[in-house]
Amino acid sequence: QAAATVRGSSVVLLRNGGDLAIQSAWPPVDSLATSDWAAARWAQDRGEPAGHLTTTLPSASFQFRPIISTKGPMGVIGVAPGEADDVLSSTVDAALQFMIDQAAIAIERTLLVEEAGKAEQARENEKLRAALLSSLSHDLRTPLASIVGSVTSLRSLGSKMSKADRADLLVTIEEEVFLGLD
């Protein structure tokens, strides 16, 4: 839409980590000139237009305008009018700025949906972790109770018990340990 509005070309650069990355372009491009990258970064960092048809880095092929959301700068949109010396009319300029503002809202909503999805996934992971720990705790509780009971009986009554009873308690301890490991 931006390319059609200026009757030329456009490129969208969004934050990717600490730098900008090409997300979309019309006509399609894979790279930009050094002067365009400099103008794009300047517009991103300062929140002001830079590049072609501006007083900041005018040698760039594109004029870059920041995409600013409620969370701050998200990237830039670069436009290059069809004719190199063409000045953007006030109508085209206003339409372009309206598109950029709408793009900022759409991008912010997309990022919020992604963040909500990540938060939901984290909640689900925490639920699963809690259920696993609860199950593990429950599965170990019975064998541990038997082991503790048998050890306590051996310690307090071991000398007063028959050899067969002591052997039974040791077998119980051994069996419960193996049950707890399964």
pLDDT of the chain along its 182 residues, tens only? 888 888 889 999 998 888 899 999 999 988 999 999 999 999 999 989 999 989 999 999 999 999 998 888 889 999 988 875 567 788 888 888 898 888 888 888 988 898 899 999 999 999 999 888 888 777 777 778 888 888 888 888 878 888 898 888 888 888 887 766 66
Supply 30's token pair: 């894979």
Which residue has 């599965």 as its token pair? 139
Give whole-number Cα distances, 118 to 16, 23, 110, in Å: 17, 22, 12
Please give the Cα distance from 172 to 134 (Å, whole number): 24
Please give the Cα distance from 165 to 162 (Å, whole number): 5
Torsion of CA 95, 100, 102, 108, to 10 degrees: 180
Residue type at position 36: D
pTM above the 0.75 mark? Answer: no
